[in-house]
């Protein structure tokens, strides 16, 4: 992964990657308060003072760690992520906590660093210029379901169907000031399910923790690191699997693999999923659901044997 670039070259890349638009008032270096708030830089943007950003980071971070299921750290229990549940609100109020924490802690350094890494990569620069969005409509899920089973598109659609989730429920970015960096965060969120499909990890708690560890090693976003800490709250068997199998897999592959944000997933849908893993330098971890099932069956046999011996 490219990590460094000359300042002059990076400045040219930043200017060329952005669409032509008038300078934003918020880009001017001037202080503001809750009584003197500048206009938003993009639709839905909420400018924050430093005090507000700190309070948002602390509040959402504590809430996410204390109650990770309701905070949205793990997507499986969230009603908004289920296909069969009517969506009366884009995301449940508490499900916004982890998203808010991610935005409050990502700037100014971490999200800018991610943007700069995209600018260093030809595909990353093209993504920033074209700004594609990942939704069920843009991806044409019915077509993906008809693709050969070995393709990324088929694996992605099969994963969505198996886990009963939808790509249409990612919260919109609100608290990142730079409009281009806000898109980078939005792109990261919308690509998350592709990482699931690539790794074959389910939306079970330990599967989410393993994937967040992978994302932390690959992107460095603080929010993903907070999610990894929630491994301490997993049941004993799940903690053992994480520390001995999925945690090492995540850190090794996230650190050595290519930047996943520089993948134009929409153009890889007909690629053989094994070839894509090889190209990115990412190994597929052991099947988590199969491992859990095997351990449950072994535990059941052991209990039956003990019961028989007691008789």
Positive or negative: CA dihedral 192, 197, 198, 204: positive
| CA distance between the termini of the chain | 61
Structural domain contains residue 132:
yes
Residue 179 in 3-state DSSP?
helix
User: Domain span at residue 241?
Assistant: 41-310
Structural domain contains residue 32:
no
- Whole-prediction pTM: 0.79
pLDDT exceeds cutoff 50 at 76:
no
Q: How far is CA 194 from CA 8, 90, 199, in A?
A: 34, 21, 9
Q: The tokens of 199 are what?
A: 């790794």
pLDDT exceeds cutoff 90 at 307:
no
Tell me how long the chain is: 311
Residue-level pLDDT at 66:
63
Structural domain contains residue 26:
no
Residue-level pLDDT at 308:
75
pLDDT exceeds cutoff 60 at 30:
no
Mean pLDDT taken over the chain: 81
CA distance 260 to 14: 20
Q: What is the mean pLDDT of residues 172-197?
A: 93
**Nearest Cα residue to 173 out of 103, 254, 243, 256:** 103
**Per-residue model confidence as pLDDT tens digits over 282-297:** 999 999 988 888 888 8
Q: Using only C-alpha atoms, what is the Rg of the chain?
A: 21
Q: The tokens of 237 are what?
A: 């068997």
Structural domain contains residue 24:
no
Count of structural domains within the chain:
1
Residue-level pLDDT at 94:
47
Q: In the chain, at which residue ranges do the beta strands (DSSP E only) sit?
A: none
Q: What is the mean pLDDT of residues 166-193?
A: 91
Using pLDDT thresholds of 50, 70 and 90, give the confidence band for residue 82: very low
How is residue 309 annotated by DSSP? H
233/88: higher pLDDT = 233
Of the listed ranges 54-58, 95-99, 175-179, the least confidently predicted one is 95-99
Using pLDDT thresholds of 50, 70 and 90, give the confidence band for residue 9: low
Structural domain contains residue 219:
yes
**Per-residue model confidence as pLDDT tens digits over 111-152:** 999 999 999 999 999 999 999 999 988 999 999 999 999 999
Structural domain contains residue 302:
yes
**Per-residue model confidence as pLDDT tens digits over 214-228:** 999 999 999 888 888
**Nearest Cα residue to 100 out of 165, 185, 28:** 185
């Amino acid at each position: 992964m490219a990590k460094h670039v000359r300042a002059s070259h990076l400045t040219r890349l930043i200017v060329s990657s952005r669409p032509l638009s008038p300078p934003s008032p918020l880009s001017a270096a001037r202080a503001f308060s809750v009584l003197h708030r500048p206009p938003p830089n993009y639709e839905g943007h909420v400018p924050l003072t430093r005090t507000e950003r700190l309070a948002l980071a602390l509040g959402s971070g504590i809430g996410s760690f204390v109650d990770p299921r309701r905070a949205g750290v793990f997507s499986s229990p969230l009603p908004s992520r289920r296909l069969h549940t009517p969506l009366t609100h884009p995301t449940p109020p508490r499900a916004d906590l982890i998203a808010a924490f991610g935005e409050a802690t990502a700037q100014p350094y971490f999200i800018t660093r991610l943007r700069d890494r995209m600018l260093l990569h030809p595909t990353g620069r093209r993504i920033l210029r074209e700004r594609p969005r990942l939704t069920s409509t843009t991806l044409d899920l019915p077509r993906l379901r008809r693709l050969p089973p070995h393709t990324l598109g088929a694996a992605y659609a099969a994963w969505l169907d198996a886990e009963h989730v939808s790509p249409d429920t990612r919260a919109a970015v609100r608290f990142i000031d730079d409009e281009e960096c806000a898109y980078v965060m939005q792109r990261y969120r919308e690509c998350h399910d592709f990482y699931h499909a690539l790794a074959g990890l389910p939306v079970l708690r330990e599967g989410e923790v393993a994937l967040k560890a992978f994302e932390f090693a690959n992107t460095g976003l603080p929010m993903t690191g907070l999610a990894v800490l929630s491994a301490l709250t997993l049941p004993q068997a799940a903690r053992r699997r994480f520390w001995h199998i999925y945690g090492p897999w995540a850190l090794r592959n996230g650190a050595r693999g290519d930047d996943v944000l520089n993948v134009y997933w929409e153009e890889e849908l007909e690629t053989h999923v094994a070839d894509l893993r090889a190209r990115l330098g990412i190994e597929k971890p052991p099947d988590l659901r199969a491992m859990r099932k095997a351990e449950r069956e072994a535990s059941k046999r052991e209990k039956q044997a003990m019961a028989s011996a007691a008789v």
